[in-house]
Protein backbone atom coordinates (compact mmCIF):
# COMPACT_ATOMS: atom_id res chain seq x y z
CA UNK A 1 0.00 0.00 0.00
CA UNK A 2 1.18 3.50 -0.82
CA UNK A 3 0.22 6.33 1.53
CA UNK A 4 -1.41 9.17 -0.41
CA UNK A 5 -3.63 10.85 2.18
CA UNK A 6 -2.58 11.41 5.80
CA UNK A 7 -4.49 12.39 8.92
CA UNK A 8 -3.11 14.15 11.99
CA UNK A 9 -5.07 14.16 15.25
CA UNK A 10 -3.96 16.87 17.68
CA UNK A 11 -2.49 20.21 16.56
CA UNK A 12 -0.36 21.07 19.55
CA UNK A 13 3.34 21.86 19.15
CA UNK A 14 4.12 18.38 17.84
CA UNK A 15 0.98 17.80 15.81
CA UNK A 16 1.29 21.10 13.96
CA UNK A 17 4.92 20.23 13.15
CA UNK A 18 3.89 16.81 11.81
CA UNK A 19 1.19 18.41 9.65
CA UNK A 20 3.85 20.69 8.15
CA UNK A 21 6.09 17.71 7.40
CA UNK A 22 3.29 15.84 5.64
CA UNK A 23 2.05 18.79 3.60
CA UNK A 24 5.60 19.82 2.68
CA UNK A 25 6.19 16.24 1.53
CA UNK A 26 3.35 16.57 -0.98
CA UNK A 27 0.72 14.60 0.93
CA UNK A 28 -2.92 15.62 1.22
CA UNK A 29 -3.18 16.18 4.96
CA UNK A 30 -6.34 16.16 7.07
CA UNK A 31 -6.06 17.66 10.57
CA UNK A 32 -8.43 17.44 13.51
CA UNK A 33 -8.74 19.00 16.96
CA UNK A 34 -11.70 18.32 19.22
CA UNK A 35 -11.78 21.95 20.34
CA UNK A 36 -12.32 24.75 17.82
CA UNK A 37 -9.99 27.13 19.65
CA UNK A 38 -7.26 24.48 19.71
CA UNK A 39 -7.74 23.91 15.98
CA UNK A 40 -7.35 27.62 15.27
CA UNK A 41 -4.29 27.86 17.51
CA UNK A 42 -2.74 24.84 15.78
CA UNK A 43 -3.36 26.22 12.30
CA UNK A 44 -1.95 29.52 13.56
CA UNK A 45 1.25 27.70 14.47
CA UNK A 46 1.39 26.12 11.02
CA UNK A 47 0.87 29.46 9.27
CA UNK A 48 3.39 31.24 11.52
CA UNK A 49 6.07 28.65 10.79
CA UNK A 50 5.48 28.74 7.05
CA UNK A 51 5.34 32.57 7.01
CA UNK A 52 8.63 32.61 8.90
CA UNK A 53 10.14 30.42 6.18
CA UNK A 54 9.06 32.94 3.55
CA UNK A 55 10.48 35.85 5.56
CA UNK A 56 13.81 34.04 5.90
CA UNK A 57 13.93 33.24 2.18
CA UNK A 58 13.75 29.47 2.72
CA UNK A 59 10.30 29.09 1.17
CA UNK A 60 8.63 31.01 -1.65
CA UNK A 61 5.15 32.47 -1.14
CA UNK A 62 3.86 30.07 -3.81
CA UNK A 63 5.33 27.04 -2.00
CA UNK A 64 3.81 28.21 1.29
CA UNK A 65 0.39 28.64 -0.29
CA UNK A 66 0.62 25.19 -1.91
CA UNK A 67 1.47 23.58 1.44
CA UNK A 68 -1.43 25.33 3.15
CA UNK A 69 -3.67 24.24 0.29
CA UNK A 70 -2.84 20.60 0.99
CA UNK A 71 -4.05 20.89 4.62
CA UNK A 72 -7.76 20.28 5.21
CA UNK A 73 -9.51 20.75 8.55
CA UNK A 74 -11.87 17.94 9.58
CA UNK A 75 -14.89 18.54 11.79
CA UNK A 76 -14.82 15.03 13.24
CA UNK A 77 -12.94 11.74 13.03
CA UNK A 78 -15.15 10.70 10.10
CA UNK A 79 -13.10 13.17 8.06
CA UNK A 80 -10.30 10.58 8.10
CA UNK A 81 -12.32 7.88 6.33
CA UNK A 82 -10.26 8.23 3.12
CA UNK A 83 -6.88 8.44 4.84
CA UNK A 84 -4.33 5.69 4.35
CA UNK A 85 -2.49 6.56 7.57
CA UNK A 86 -3.50 8.61 10.61
CA UNK A 87 -0.95 9.92 13.10
CA UNK A 88 -2.16 10.73 16.59
CA UNK A 89 -0.31 13.46 18.48
CA UNK A 90 -2.56 14.08 21.46
CA UNK A 91 -1.58 14.34 25.12
CA UNK A 92 0.73 11.62 26.52
CA UNK A 93 -2.02 9.83 28.43
CA UNK A 94 -2.51 6.08 27.98
CA UNK A 95 -6.28 6.04 28.49
CA UNK A 96 -6.89 9.07 26.25
CA UNK A 97 -4.81 7.52 23.49
CA UNK A 98 -6.52 4.13 23.79
CA UNK A 99 -9.92 5.80 23.61
CA UNK A 100 -8.89 7.74 20.51
CA UNK A 101 -7.43 4.67 18.79
CA UNK A 102 -10.66 2.73 19.33
CA UNK A 103 -12.62 5.60 17.77
CA UNK A 104 -10.20 5.77 14.83
CA UNK A 105 -10.55 2.02 14.30
CA UNK A 106 -14.30 2.52 13.88
CA UNK A 107 -13.89 5.49 11.53
CA UNK A 108 -11.13 4.27 9.23
CA UNK A 109 -11.08 1.97 6.23
CA UNK A 110 -10.00 -1.56 7.11
CA UNK A 111 -6.58 -1.22 5.46
CA UNK A 112 -5.62 2.10 7.07
CA UNK A 113 -2.69 2.36 9.48
CA UNK A 114 -2.87 4.06 12.88
CA UNK A 115 0.43 5.60 14.00
CA UNK A 116 1.07 7.00 17.44
CA UNK A 117 3.55 9.81 18.10
CA UNK A 118 3.89 8.65 21.71
CA UNK A 119 7.37 9.12 23.08
CA UNK A 120 7.03 6.81 26.09
CA UNK A 121 4.01 4.50 25.96
CA UNK A 122 3.76 0.87 24.82
CA UNK A 123 2.80 0.42 21.17
CA UNK A 124 1.95 -3.23 21.88
CA UNK A 125 -0.57 -2.13 24.51
CA UNK A 126 -2.10 0.55 22.27
CA UNK A 127 -2.28 -1.86 19.36
CA UNK A 128 -4.21 -4.39 21.43
CA UNK A 129 -6.55 -1.65 22.69
CA UNK A 130 -7.13 -0.19 19.21
CA UNK A 131 -8.83 -3.21 17.67
CA UNK A 132 -6.35 -3.32 14.77
CA UNK A 133 -3.06 -4.39 16.39
CA UNK A 134 -1.42 -5.48 13.11
CA UNK A 135 -1.89 -1.97 11.70
CA UNK A 136 -0.84 0.02 14.77
CA UNK A 137 2.71 1.37 14.95
CA UNK A 138 4.74 4.02 16.74
CA UNK A 139 6.15 6.98 14.81
CA UNK A 140 7.95 9.22 17.26
CA UNK A 141 8.90 12.47 15.54
CA UNK A 142 11.61 14.58 17.15
CA UNK A 143 11.16 18.23 18.05
CA UNK A 144 11.13 20.47 16.17
CA UNK A 145 9.71 17.92 13.73
CA UNK A 146 9.49 20.44 10.88
CA UNK A 147 13.29 20.78 11.04
CA UNK A 148 14.41 17.49 12.59
CA UNK A 149 14.31 14.63 10.09
CA UNK A 150 14.64 11.66 12.44
CA UNK A 151 11.58 9.54 13.28
CA UNK A 152 11.72 6.53 15.58
CA UNK A 153 9.58 3.76 14.10
CA UNK A 154 8.46 1.39 16.85
CA UNK A 155 6.51 -1.71 15.80
CA UNK A 156 4.56 -3.39 18.60
CA UNK A 157 4.70 -7.11 19.20
CA UNK A 158 1.59 -7.55 17.00
CA UNK A 159 2.47 -5.01 14.28
CA UNK A 160 2.71 -6.60 10.84
CA UNK A 161 5.81 -6.39 8.68
CA UNK A 162 3.69 -4.80 5.94
CA UNK A 163 2.63 -2.00 8.29
CA UNK A 164 6.25 -1.34 9.24
CA UNK A 165 7.37 -1.32 5.60
CA UNK A 166 4.53 0.96 4.46
CA UNK A 167 5.11 3.43 7.32
CA UNK A 168 8.85 3.50 6.72
CA UNK A 169 8.34 4.15 3.00
CA UNK A 170 5.87 6.97 3.75
CA UNK A 171 8.32 8.68 6.11
CA UNK A 172 11.07 8.50 3.50
CA UNK A 173 8.71 9.96 0.88
CA UNK A 174 8.03 13.05 3.05
CA UNK A 175 11.75 13.61 3.60
CA UNK A 176 12.19 12.07 7.05
CA UNK A 177 14.80 9.53 8.19
CA UNK A 178 13.13 6.55 9.90
CA UNK A 179 15.04 4.39 12.38
CA UNK A 180 13.40 1.21 13.63
CA UNK A 181 13.60 0.88 17.42
CA UNK A 182 12.41 -1.46 20.15
CA UNK A 183 8.99 -0.93 21.78
CA UNK A 184 10.42 0.27 25.07
CA UNK A 185 9.61 3.21 27.41
CA UNK A 186 11.10 6.28 25.74
CA UNK A 187 12.32 4.13 22.81
CA UNK A 188 15.95 5.24 22.29
CA UNK A 189 15.89 9.03 22.25
CA UNK A 190 13.78 9.81 25.30
CA UNK A 191 15.27 6.91 27.24
CA UNK A 192 18.50 8.91 27.27
CA UNK A 193 17.27 12.47 26.71
CA UNK A 194 14.81 12.73 29.61
CA UNK A 195 17.34 11.54 32.19
CA UNK A 196 19.93 13.95 30.73
CA UNK A 197 17.47 16.86 30.77
CA UNK A 198 16.52 16.18 34.39
CA UNK A 199 20.21 16.20 35.28
CA UNK A 200 20.56 19.60 33.58
CA UNK A 201 17.52 20.99 35.39
CA UNK A 202 18.92 19.87 38.75
CA UNK A 203 22.14 21.79 38.10
CA UNK A 204 20.11 24.92 37.34
CA UNK A 205 17.86 24.32 40.36
CA UNK A 206 20.84 24.01 42.71
CA UNK A 207 22.37 27.27 41.49
CA UNK A 208 25.45 25.43 40.22
CA UNK A 209 25.17 27.15 36.83
CA UNK A 210 22.71 29.13 34.72
CA UNK A 211 20.85 28.15 31.52
CA UNK A 212 23.07 30.19 29.19
CA UNK A 213 26.33 28.79 30.57
CA UNK A 214 24.99 25.24 30.62
CA UNK A 215 23.83 25.50 27.02
CA UNK A 216 27.15 27.05 25.97
CA UNK A 217 29.05 24.29 27.74
CA UNK A 218 27.09 21.52 26.07
CA UNK A 219 27.10 23.13 22.61
CA UNK A 220 30.76 24.14 22.58
CA UNK A 221 32.18 21.35 24.72
CA UNK A 222 30.20 18.47 23.23
CA UNK A 223 29.27 19.88 19.82
CA UNK A 224 25.49 19.61 20.25
CA UNK A 225 23.55 21.74 17.77
CA UNK A 226 21.22 22.99 20.50
CA UNK A 227 21.62 23.41 24.24
CA UNK A 228 19.39 21.26 26.48
CA UNK A 229 17.69 24.22 28.19
CA UNK A 230 16.74 25.76 24.85
CA UNK A 231 15.42 22.36 23.72
CA UNK A 232 13.34 22.09 26.90
CA UNK A 233 11.79 25.48 26.15
CA UNK A 234 10.84 24.31 22.65
CA UNK A 235 9.43 21.04 23.97
CA UNK A 236 7.51 22.80 26.76
CA UNK A 237 8.01 22.21 30.48
CA UNK A 238 4.49 20.80 30.79
CA UNK A 239 5.22 18.23 28.08
CA UNK A 240 8.56 17.38 29.67
CA UNK A 241 6.87 16.76 33.00
CA UNK A 242 4.26 14.46 31.45
CA UNK A 243 6.88 12.47 29.51
CA UNK A 244 9.21 12.26 32.48
CA UNK A 245 6.51 11.01 34.85
CA UNK A 246 5.29 8.49 32.28
CA UNK A 247 8.78 7.01 32.05
CA UNK A 248 9.23 6.97 35.82
CA UNK A 249 5.91 5.15 36.26
CA UNK A 250 7.05 2.43 33.85
CA UNK A 251 10.73 2.14 34.79
CA UNK A 252 10.72 3.19 38.48
CA UNK A 253 14.12 4.76 37.86
CA UNK A 254 14.68 7.96 39.92
CA UNK A 255 16.55 9.55 37.01
CA UNK A 256 13.15 10.13 35.41
CA UNK A 257 11.54 11.97 38.34
CA UNK A 258 11.15 15.61 37.18
CA UNK A 259 12.94 18.01 39.57
CA UNK A 260 10.72 20.31 41.70
CA UNK A 261 11.80 23.32 39.61
CA UNK A 262 9.70 21.94 36.75
CA UNK A 263 6.50 22.15 38.81
CA UNK A 264 7.32 25.66 39.98
CA UNK A 265 7.90 26.87 36.42
CA UNK A 266 4.66 25.28 35.23
CA UNK A 267 2.73 26.88 38.11
CA UNK A 268 4.22 30.25 37.12
CA UNK A 269 3.16 29.76 33.49
CA UNK A 270 6.79 29.59 32.33
CA UNK A 271 6.28 26.77 29.84
CA UNK A 272 8.86 27.76 27.23
CA UNK A 273 8.56 29.26 23.77
CA UNK A 274 4.80 28.78 23.57
CA UNK A 275 4.21 30.98 26.62
CA UNK A 276 7.03 33.42 25.88
CA UNK A 277 9.09 32.43 28.91
CA UNK A 278 10.80 29.30 30.17
CA UNK A 279 14.47 28.98 30.99
CA UNK A 280 14.84 31.92 28.61
CA UNK A 281 12.60 34.91 27.96
CA UNK A 282 11.37 35.26 24.37
CA UNK A 283 10.58 38.36 22.36
CA UNK A 284 7.14 36.91 21.75
CA UNK A 285 5.45 33.56 22.27
CA UNK A 286 5.51 31.13 19.38
CA UNK A 287 6.83 27.89 17.93
CA UNK A 288 10.47 27.16 17.26
CA UNK A 289 11.69 29.16 14.29
CA UNK A 290 9.38 32.01 15.28
CA UNK A 291 10.09 32.56 18.99
CA UNK A 292 13.59 33.96 19.48
CA UNK A 293 15.14 34.43 22.95
CA UNK A 294 15.95 37.91 24.18
CA UNK A 295 19.49 38.88 25.07
CA UNK A 296 20.00 38.26 28.79
CA UNK A 297 22.41 40.66 30.47
CA UNK A 298 21.76 39.31 33.97
CA UNK A 299 24.68 36.86 33.77
CA UNK A 300 27.27 39.31 32.47
CA UNK A 301 30.34 39.29 34.72
CA UNK A 302 32.38 42.13 36.16
CA UNK A 303 35.99 41.34 35.24
CA UNK A 304 37.47 44.62 36.48
CA UNK A 305 39.75 42.92 39.00
CA UNK A 306 40.86 40.04 36.78
CA UNK A 307 41.24 41.82 33.45
CA UNK A 308 44.47 43.71 34.37
CA UNK A 309 46.05 40.44 35.54
CA UNK A 310 45.13 38.75 32.26
CA UNK A 311 46.36 41.71 30.22
CA UNK A 312 49.72 41.54 32.00
CA UNK A 313 50.42 37.93 31.01
CA UNK A 314 53.31 37.76 28.57
CA UNK A 315 54.74 34.29 29.12
CA UNK A 316 52.86 31.03 29.70
CA UNK A 317 54.36 27.78 30.89
CA UNK A 318 52.78 24.51 29.75
CA UNK A 319 53.78 21.31 31.55
CA UNK A 320 53.11 18.26 29.41
CA UNK A 321 53.16 18.49 25.61
CA UNK A 322 50.97 15.54 24.72
CA UNK A 323 47.98 16.01 22.42
CA UNK A 324 46.22 18.32 24.90
CA UNK A 325 49.26 20.21 26.20
CA UNK A 326 50.70 20.87 22.75
CA UNK A 327 47.28 22.11 21.65
CA UNK A 328 47.10 24.56 24.56
CA UNK A 329 50.63 25.76 23.82
CA UNK A 330 49.64 26.26 20.17
CA UNK A 331 46.58 28.31 21.17
CA UNK A 332 48.75 30.57 23.37
CA UNK A 333 51.52 31.23 20.83
CA UNK A 334 48.91 31.84 18.13
CA UNK A 335 47.36 34.47 20.45
CA UNK A 336 50.71 36.27 20.60
CA UNK A 337 52.00 34.94 23.92
CA UNK A 338 55.43 33.51 24.62
CA UNK A 339 55.28 29.86 25.72
CA UNK A 340 57.72 27.59 27.52
CA UNK A 341 56.78 23.95 27.16
CA UNK A 342 58.19 21.42 29.63
CA UNK A 343 58.35 17.65 29.25
CA UNK A 344 59.85 14.78 31.24
CA UNK A 345 62.56 13.97 28.66
CA UNK A 346 64.01 15.13 25.34
CA UNK A 347 62.05 12.57 23.31
CA UNK A 348 58.69 13.65 24.70
CA UNK A 349 59.66 17.31 24.34
CA UNK A 350 60.63 16.97 20.69
CA UNK A 351 57.47 14.99 19.94
CA UNK A 352 55.33 17.77 21.44
CA UNK A 353 57.14 20.57 19.63
CA UNK A 354 56.95 18.63 16.36
CA UNK A 355 53.20 18.19 16.81
CA UNK A 356 52.80 21.97 17.09
CA UNK A 357 54.97 22.59 14.01
CA UNK A 358 52.92 20.10 11.97
CA UNK A 359 49.66 21.70 13.06
CA UNK A 360 50.89 25.12 11.99
CA UNK A 361 52.13 23.69 8.67
CA UNK A 362 48.59 22.44 8.18
CA UNK A 363 47.22 25.91 8.95
CA UNK A 364 49.45 27.35 6.22
CA UNK A 365 48.25 24.75 3.70
CA UNK A 366 44.62 25.58 4.54
CA UNK A 367 45.27 29.29 4.05
CA UNK A 368 44.66 30.13 7.71
CA UNK A 369 48.20 31.49 8.14
CA UNK A 370 51.07 32.50 5.85
CA UNK A 371 54.63 31.21 6.12
CA UNK A 372 55.91 34.39 7.74
CA UNK A 373 53.14 34.25 10.31
CA UNK A 374 53.96 30.64 11.09
CA UNK A 375 57.64 31.42 11.66
CA UNK A 376 56.78 34.40 13.88
CA UNK A 377 54.40 32.19 15.88
CA UNK A 378 56.97 29.41 16.32
CA UNK A 379 59.56 31.98 17.43
CA UNK A 380 57.44 32.47 20.56
CA UNK A 381 57.72 28.76 21.45
CA UNK A 382 60.44 27.35 23.67
CA UNK A 383 60.99 23.98 25.34
CA UNK A 384 62.80 22.44 28.28
CA UNK A 385 62.99 19.32 30.43
CA UNK A 386 63.63 21.38 33.56
CA UNK A 387 60.75 22.78 35.64
CA UNK A 388 63.00 25.66 36.66
CA UNK A 389 62.51 27.04 33.13
CA UNK A 390 59.04 28.12 34.33
CA UNK A 391 60.38 30.48 36.98
CA UNK A 392 59.68 33.63 34.94
CA UNK A 393 56.23 32.61 33.64
CA UNK A 394 53.17 34.71 34.48
CA UNK A 395 50.85 31.73 34.09
CA UNK A 396 51.71 28.02 34.40
CA UNK A 397 49.25 25.44 33.04
CA UNK A 398 49.63 21.82 34.14
CA UNK A 399 48.62 19.23 31.52
CA UNK A 400 50.17 15.99 32.81
CA UNK A 401 48.62 12.54 33.27
CA UNK A 402 45.19 12.50 34.97
CA UNK A 403 46.49 11.10 38.26
CA UNK A 404 45.88 13.04 41.48
CA UNK A 405 49.03 11.89 43.27
CA UNK A 406 51.21 12.94 40.33
CA UNK A 407 49.48 16.31 40.13
CA UNK A 408 49.79 16.94 43.88
CA UNK A 409 53.52 16.22 43.73
CA UNK A 410 53.91 18.58 40.77
CA UNK A 411 51.93 21.40 42.39
CA UNK A 412 54.08 21.16 45.50
CA UNK A 413 57.16 21.70 43.31
CA UNK A 414 55.49 24.53 41.40
CA UNK A 415 54.77 26.26 44.68
CA UNK A 416 58.53 26.58 45.12
CA UNK A 417 59.32 27.48 41.50
CA UNK A 418 56.58 29.92 40.45
CA UNK A 419 57.44 33.59 40.80
CA UNK A 420 55.49 35.83 43.15
CA UNK A 421 52.24 36.88 41.54
CA UNK A 422 52.15 34.01 39.05
CA UNK A 423 48.93 32.08 38.51
CA UNK A 424 49.05 28.27 38.44
CA UNK A 425 46.32 26.39 36.56
CA UNK A 426 45.37 22.76 36.04
CA UNK A 427 43.78 21.36 32.90
CA UNK A 428 42.25 18.44 34.85
CA UNK A 429 38.90 17.20 33.60
CA UNK A 430 37.68 15.62 36.84
CA UNK A 431 40.17 15.88 39.72
CA UNK A 432 40.08 18.29 42.67
CA UNK A 433 41.68 21.64 41.92
CA UNK A 434 41.20 22.46 45.62
CA UNK A 435 43.51 19.60 46.60
CA UNK A 436 46.14 20.79 44.12
CA UNK A 437 45.91 24.39 45.34
CA UNK A 438 46.50 23.23 48.91
CA UNK A 439 49.98 22.04 47.91
CA UNK A 440 51.15 25.50 46.82
CA UNK A 441 52.33 28.53 48.79
CA UNK A 442 49.65 30.76 47.25
CA UNK A 443 46.51 28.61 46.89
CA UNK A 444 44.41 31.70 46.26
CA UNK A 445 46.22 32.09 42.90
CA UNK A 446 45.38 28.57 41.66
CA UNK A 447 42.53 28.00 39.19
CA UNK A 448 41.35 25.27 36.84
CA UNK A 449 41.44 25.89 33.08
CA UNK A 450 39.87 22.82 31.48
CA UNK A 451 40.36 23.01 27.72
CA UNK A 452 38.59 20.61 25.36
CA UNK A 453 40.30 18.43 22.78
CA UNK A 454 41.65 19.55 20.39
CA UNK A 455 42.22 22.93 22.10
CA UNK A 456 43.02 24.80 18.87
CA UNK A 457 39.60 23.78 17.43
CA UNK A 458 37.33 23.65 20.49
CA UNK A 459 36.21 27.04 21.80
CA UNK A 460 35.10 26.06 25.29
CA UNK A 461 37.18 26.35 28.47
CA UNK A 462 35.78 25.56 31.91
CA UNK A 463 37.21 28.02 34.46
CA UNK A 464 37.21 26.09 37.74
CA UNK A 465 37.07 27.97 41.02
CA UNK A 466 38.71 26.01 43.82
CA UNK A 467 37.65 26.63 47.41
CA UNK A 468 40.74 28.84 47.91
CA UNK A 469 40.65 30.66 44.54
CA UNK A 470 40.47 34.42 44.99
CA UNK A 471 37.61 36.14 43.13
CA UNK A 472 40.05 38.18 41.02
CA UNK A 473 41.79 34.97 39.90
CA UNK A 474 38.48 33.47 38.76
CA UNK A 475 37.92 36.71 36.86
CA UNK A 476 41.45 36.40 35.50
CA UNK A 477 40.67 32.93 34.17
CA UNK A 478 37.63 34.24 32.32
CA UNK A 479 39.49 37.28 30.96
CA UNK A 480 42.50 35.22 29.90
CA UNK A 481 40.30 32.80 27.98
CA UNK A 482 38.64 35.73 26.23
CA UNK A 483 42.11 37.07 25.36
CA UNK A 484 43.17 33.83 23.63
CA UNK A 485 39.89 33.56 21.71
CA UNK A 486 38.09 30.99 23.84
CA UNK A 487 34.61 30.94 25.38
CA UNK A 488 34.89 30.54 29.17
CA UNK A 489 32.24 29.29 31.54
CA UNK A 490 32.95 29.52 35.29
CA UNK A 491 32.19 26.45 37.40
CA UNK A 492 32.78 25.35 40.97
CA UNK A 493 35.34 22.69 41.86
CA UNK A 494 33.01 19.71 41.91
CA UNK A 495 33.50 16.27 40.35
CA UNK A 496 33.26 16.51 36.57
CA UNK A 497 32.82 20.29 36.74
CA UNK A 498 29.98 21.00 34.25
CA UNK A 499 30.44 19.17 30.95
CA UNK A 500 31.76 15.86 32.32
CA UNK A 501 29.25 16.06 35.17
CA UNK A 502 26.56 15.71 32.49
CA UNK A 503 28.44 13.62 29.93
CA UNK A 504 29.79 10.80 32.11
CA UNK A 505 26.45 9.46 33.46
CA UNK A 506 24.92 9.79 29.97
CA UNK A 507 27.69 7.67 28.43
CA UNK A 508 27.41 5.15 31.28
CA UNK A 509 23.66 4.97 30.65
CA UNK A 510 24.19 4.34 26.93
CA UNK A 511 26.84 1.64 27.43
CA UNK A 512 24.67 -0.17 29.97
CA UNK A 513 21.56 0.05 27.74
CA UNK A 514 23.52 -1.39 24.81
CA UNK A 515 24.75 -4.21 27.03
CA UNK A 516 21.13 -4.92 28.03
CA UNK A 517 20.00 -5.08 24.39
CA UNK A 518 17.97 -1.86 24.09
CA UNK A 519 19.23 -1.32 20.54
CA UNK A 520 22.02 -2.36 18.21
CA UNK A 521 24.97 0.03 18.14
CA UNK A 522 24.16 1.59 14.75
CA UNK A 523 20.51 2.29 15.59
CA UNK A 524 21.39 3.75 18.97
CA UNK A 525 24.07 6.04 17.60
CA UNK A 526 22.00 7.12 14.58
CA UNK A 527 18.92 7.88 16.67
CA UNK A 528 20.90 10.00 19.12
CA UNK A 529 23.10 11.81 16.63
CA UNK A 530 20.30 12.67 14.21
CA UNK A 531 17.41 13.01 16.64
CA UNK A 532 19.22 15.19 19.16
CA UNK A 533 21.74 16.93 16.92
CA UNK A 534 24.80 15.39 18.55
CA UNK A 535 27.99 15.22 16.46
CA UNK A 536 28.17 11.47 17.11
CA UNK A 537 26.33 8.77 18.99
CA UNK A 538 27.30 7.77 22.54
CA UNK A 539 28.97 4.49 21.62
CA UNK A 540 31.07 6.15 18.92
CA UNK A 541 32.02 8.82 21.46
CA UNK A 542 33.12 6.24 24.04
CA UNK A 543 35.30 4.65 21.37
CA UNK A 544 36.83 8.07 20.69
CA UNK A 545 37.39 8.88 24.36
CA UNK A 546 38.55 5.37 25.22
CA UNK A 547 36.70 2.81 27.35
CA UNK A 548 39.56 2.95 29.87
CA UNK A 549 39.37 6.74 30.15
CA UNK A 550 35.57 6.70 30.55
CA UNK A 551 35.92 4.04 33.24
CA UNK A 552 38.60 5.99 35.12
CA UNK A 553 36.77 9.32 35.00
CA UNK A 554 33.42 7.72 35.89
CA UNK A 555 34.84 5.86 38.89
CA UNK A 556 36.72 8.96 40.10
CA UNK A 557 33.51 10.97 40.05
CA UNK A 558 31.50 8.17 41.67
CA UNK A 559 33.93 7.83 44.56
CA UNK A 560 33.49 11.50 45.42
CA UNK A 561 29.79 11.88 44.64
CA UNK A 562 28.69 8.56 46.12
CA UNK A 563 26.07 7.96 43.41
CA UNK A 564 25.91 4.53 41.76
CA UNK A 565 24.98 5.92 38.34
CA UNK A 566 28.43 7.50 38.03
CA UNK A 567 30.26 4.17 38.35
CA UNK A 568 31.32 2.68 35.03
CA UNK A 569 28.95 -0.16 34.00
CA UNK A 570 30.26 -3.74 33.73
CA UNK A 571 30.56 -3.65 29.93
CA UNK A 572 33.17 -0.87 30.10
CA UNK A 573 35.19 -2.83 32.66
CA UNK A 574 35.07 -5.94 30.46
CA UNK A 575 36.14 -3.95 27.41
CA UNK A 576 39.00 -2.36 29.34
CA UNK A 577 40.18 -5.76 30.57
CA UNK A 578 40.06 -7.13 27.02
CA UNK A 579 42.01 -4.17 25.64
CA UNK A 580 39.01 -3.10 23.55
CA UNK A 581 39.57 0.58 24.29
CA UNK A 582 38.20 2.07 21.07
CA UNK A 583 39.94 3.84 18.22
CA UNK A 584 43.37 3.81 19.85
CA UNK A 585 43.46 0.00 19.95
CA UNK A 586 41.45 -0.65 16.78
CA UNK A 587 38.50 -2.25 18.57
CA UNK A 588 35.81 -0.99 20.92
CA UNK A 589 32.07 -0.94 20.31
CA UNK A 590 33.10 -0.79 16.64
CA UNK A 591 36.08 -2.21 14.75
CA UNK A 592 38.63 0.20 13.27
CA UNK A 593 41.29 -0.43 10.65
Per DSSP, 287 falls in state: S
Please give the pLDDT value at position 130.
95
DSSP 34: S
Q: Which of 450, 465, 472, 475 is catalytic?
A: 450
Indicate if 450 belongs to the active site. Answer: yes
Q: How far apart are CA 298 and CA 287, in angstroms?
A: 25
List, in order, residues 6 or more apart from 462 with CB less than 8 Å away.
217, 221, 448, 449, 450, 488, 489, 490, 491, 497, 498, 499
Residues 310-344 have pLDDT tens digits of 999 999 999 999 999 999 999 999 999 999 999 99
Whether 462 is catalytic is yes
Active site residue 427: no
Query: Per the residue annotation, which of 235, 338, 462, 475 is the catalytic one?
Result: 462
The per-residue pLDDT for 536 is 95
Res 453: pLDDT? 87
Instruction: Say which CATH class 507-578 falls into.
Output: mainly alpha
**Is there a contact between 324 and 448 (Cβ–Cβ < 8 Å)?**
no
What pTM value is reported for the model? 0.88
pLDDT value at position 223? Answer: 92
In the three-class reduction of DSSP (H, G, I as helix; E, B as strand; rest coil), residue 174 is classed as coil
Which one from 52, 198, 244, 429 is the annotated catalytic residue?
Answer: 429
Pick out the chain residues at pLDDT < 70: 287-290, 297-299
For domain 5-180, give the CATH superfamily: NAD(P)-binding Rossmann-like Domain (3.40.50.720)
Cα–Cα distances (Å) from 43 to 19, 255, 466, in that order, read 9, 36, 53
pLDDT value for 298: 62
pLDDT at 295: 79
Would you identify the CATH topology of the domain 307-492? Answer: Rossmann fold (3.40.50)
Prior bond to 144 cis, omega within 30?
yes
Average pLDDT of the residues of the chain:
95
- 500 a catalytic residue: yes
Active-site hit among 17, 52, 117, 500: 500
Q: For the chain, which residues make up each domain, given as ranges? A: 5-180, 189-267, 307-492, 507-578
pLDDT at res. 294: 85
- Classify strands 28-32 and 5-9 as parallel, antiparallel or unpaired: parallel
Q: What burial class does residue 44 get, using C-beta atoms within 10 Å of its C-beta: 0-12 exposed, 13-18 middle, 19+ buried?
A: middle
Do the first three CATH levels of 5-180 and 189-267 match, i.e. the same topology? no
189-267 CATH pick, 3.30.365.10, 3.40.50.720, 2.60.120.560, 1.10.1040.10: 1.10.1040.10
Amino acid sequence: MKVKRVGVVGLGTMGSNIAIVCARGGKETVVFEADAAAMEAGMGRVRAFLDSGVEKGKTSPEERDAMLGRITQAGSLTGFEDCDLVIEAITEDREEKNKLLRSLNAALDGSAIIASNTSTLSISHMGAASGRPAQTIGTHFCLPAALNKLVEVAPGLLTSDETTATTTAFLEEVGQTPVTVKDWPGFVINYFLVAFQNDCIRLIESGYTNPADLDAGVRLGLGYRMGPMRLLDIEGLDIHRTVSLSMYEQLKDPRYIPPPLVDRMIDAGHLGTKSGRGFYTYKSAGVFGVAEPEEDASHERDLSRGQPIADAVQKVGVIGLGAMGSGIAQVCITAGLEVMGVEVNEGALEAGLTRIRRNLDGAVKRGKMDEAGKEATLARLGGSTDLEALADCDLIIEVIVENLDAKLELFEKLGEIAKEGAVIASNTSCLSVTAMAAKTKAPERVVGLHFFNPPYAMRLVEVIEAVQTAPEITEFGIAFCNRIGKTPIPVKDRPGFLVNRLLVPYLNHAAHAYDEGLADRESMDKAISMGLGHPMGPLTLIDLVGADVQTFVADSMAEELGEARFYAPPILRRMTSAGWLGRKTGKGFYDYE
